[in-house]
Amino acid sequence: MPAFFSLAALLSSVFLLVCGNALVAVVAPVRASLDGFGDLEVGLLGSAYFVGMLLGALQTPALVRRVGHIRAFAAFVAVGGVAIDLLPSFEFPVAWLISRALVGFVLAGVYAIIESWINGFASNANRGALYAIYQIVNFGASSTGQLLMSGLDPTTLLPFTVGSAFYALSIVPLALTKADAPELPSVVRVNFASIRKLAPVSLAGSFIAGACNATSLSLAPVYALQIGVAPSKVPLFTSAIVIGSALGVYPVGRLSDRVDRRLIMAVMMAAGAAMEVALAVAQPQGLPLVVYGFLVGLTTFTLYTLAASIANDGAAPHEMVLISAGLLFVYCIAGIVSPTIASVAMRSYGPSALYWQNGACHAALAVFAGVAFHRAFAGLSYRRP
């Protein structure tokens, strides 16, 4: 029972923080447009956020090593809350870009801390299930935060105040928990070579997850519109992807606690690639489009959970912050680059290019994970107990 309450405290902090962040992520571009920012300036807000995340992923281990997990979490959240509160006070783009970069920096640090804490709390027998619950909380908080926007006026300070309040409240559950924090990292520099040696499938999986998740979430509405779906029906497709993601991650994570995770990754990514090829070829309408979207979310959005679980299965407790930060860094790099490539491909070759690109990425990863599983089964590489 104490273990349950400790995990509940961690997840409560995650829910509050992600809820506030999702609200601000929706209202910021809307408010920027209303304040007269240009399309390029609004677009750069998203880029600044991811640049901040990259820097946060690199700096988090050093901060955690210096002050510990809870103090580092509180420091990150305080900076993020101030950045959100001050955002509507400025009407020039540079200040907004700095603010969004700070929030991205904060979120990278918080994610690395929480994920390493959950992985330290877990064992190889339940890591997939616990990480899946964490992802479900993320999905639920993100949806809740976005829905809050419908009741708030973006021209006022209130949405930003509410978002900042969620940030502040997220400190409370974690600060009051009696759970022991994970071991401090013994080194503070992310070593990608070490992660690749420990779990090459995880590094590849994180990169593909960042590339395909960011591309799908940002361009799926464009795909639907370009194949002739009415604007009012587009949310049915995009919502189906999110619902599939939320429903698929726990059973897959739970199954991966019993069957080699690399085999599960290979099967799920192969199935997801097949659904994406079907979307590219058939360009379905109506219910079939919704079903395909659901199945894409159900299969492919389990990838980051599997990748993180594989990496942490073979890690020592003091390595977990470094691993979480490293995987997040790779995820963000791919998330910045891939949507641009996909948008250019869609402009040149049509809307199906989106799912040809994602399908090819997931198929390649399925082969890589399958080969890794085969080698492990043959006793040629690390094998999870």
Together in a domain, 202 and 146 = no
Residue 228 phi, psi dihedral angles, 5° rounding: 105, 10
Q: What is the largest CA-CA distance in the chain?
A: 62
The answer to whether position 19 is within a domain reads: yes
pLDDT at 192: 61
- Please list, residue by residue across 230-262, b when 16 or more beta carbons sit within 10 angstroms of its beta carbon and e when fewer do: eeeebebbbebbbbbbbbbbbebbebbbeebbb
Claim to verify: residue 165 and residue 202 sit in the same structural domain: no
pLDDT at 2: 47
Task: Identify the pLDDT of residue 384.
Answer: 45
Residues 62 and 202 placed together within one structural domain of the fold: no
Is the pLDDT at 344 greater than 90, yes or no? no
Q: Are 263 and 160 part of one and the same domain?
A: no
Name the region of 113 (left: φ>0; alpha: ψ -120 to 50; beta: rest).
alpha
Residue 40: HSE in the Cβ half-sphere, 13 Å Cα cutoff: 1
Check pLDDT > 90 for residue 28.
Answer: no
Q: Report DSSP letters for 311-338, one per residue.
A: HHHT--GGGHHHHHHHHHHHHHHHHHHH
Residue 182 is assigned to a structural domain of this protein? no
Q: Does residue 366 form part of some domain?
A: yes
Q: Are residues 217 and 152 in the same domain?
A: no
Q: How far apart are CA 223 and CA 208, in angstroms?
A: 20
100 three-class SS: helix
Same-domain pairing of 143 and 213? no
Last residue of a domain, one of 148, 176, 204: 176
Q: What tens digit of pLDDT does each residue of 201-217 get?
A: 988 999 999 889 888 87
CB 25 within 8 A of CB 218: no
Q: Let me know if residue 382 belongs to a domain.
A: no
**Domain-embedded: residue 161:** yes
Residue 234 domain flag: yes
Q: What tokens appear for 60 in the block? A: 């988090």
Q: Is the pLDDT of residue 383 over 50?
A: no
Question: Do 149 and 278 have their domain in common?
Answer: no
Segments forming the whole domain that contains residue 171: 2-176
What's the token pair of residue 2?
Answer: 């104490």
Same domain, 19 and 132: yes
Cα–Cα distances in Å, from 200 out to 184, 194, 207?
A: 24, 9, 11
Q: What is the C-alpha separation between 212 and 296, in angstroms, rounded?
A: 11
Burial degree of 318 (CB within 10 A; 0-12, 13-18, 19+): middle
At 160-182, the pLDDT tens digits run 999 999 999 999 988 887 766 66
Compute the average pLDDT of residues 373-379: 74
Average pLDDT, the chain: 83
Q: Does residue 356 carry a pLDDT above 80?
A: yes
If asked whether residues 172 and 207 sit together in one domain, one would say: no
**Are 211 and 361 within 8 A, CB to CB?**
yes
Residue 58 has pLDDT above 50, yes or no: yes
Query: What letter would DSSP give residue 227?
Result: T
Give Cα separations from 355 to 183, 209, 219, 331, 352 (angstroms): 42, 14, 10, 19, 6
Mean of the pLDDT values across residues 276-288? Answer: 93
Sign of the dihedral through C-alpha 145, 148, 150, 152: negative
170 and 248 together in one domain:
no
Instruction: Say yes or no to pLDDT of 108 above 70.
Output: yes
Domain end point (choices 118, 141, 176): 176
Confidence of residue 50 (pLDDT cuts 50, 70, 90): confident
The lowest-confidence range among 9-13, 47-51, 107-111, 312-316 is 312-316
Say how many domains are in the chain: 2
Compute the CA torsion angle 150, 156, 159, 163 (nearest 10 deg): 170
Query: Which run of H or E residues covers position 218?
Result: helix 200-226
* Of the residues 176, 205, 235, the one at which a domain ends: 176
Q: Say how many C-beta atoms besides its own lie within 10 A of residue 59's C-beta.
A: 17
163 and 201 housed in the same domain:
no
Inside any domain, residue 357: yes
Q: Are residues 198 and 332 in the same domain?
A: yes
Determine what percent of the chain is predicted with pLDDT higher than 90: 28
Q: Report if residue 37 sits inside a domain.
A: yes
Domain containing 76 — which CATH number?
1.20.1250.20
Phi/psi zone of residue 68: left (φ > 0), alpha (ψ -120 to 50 degrees), beta?
Answer: left
Q: Residue 283 and residue 245: Cα distance in Å, rounded? A: 21
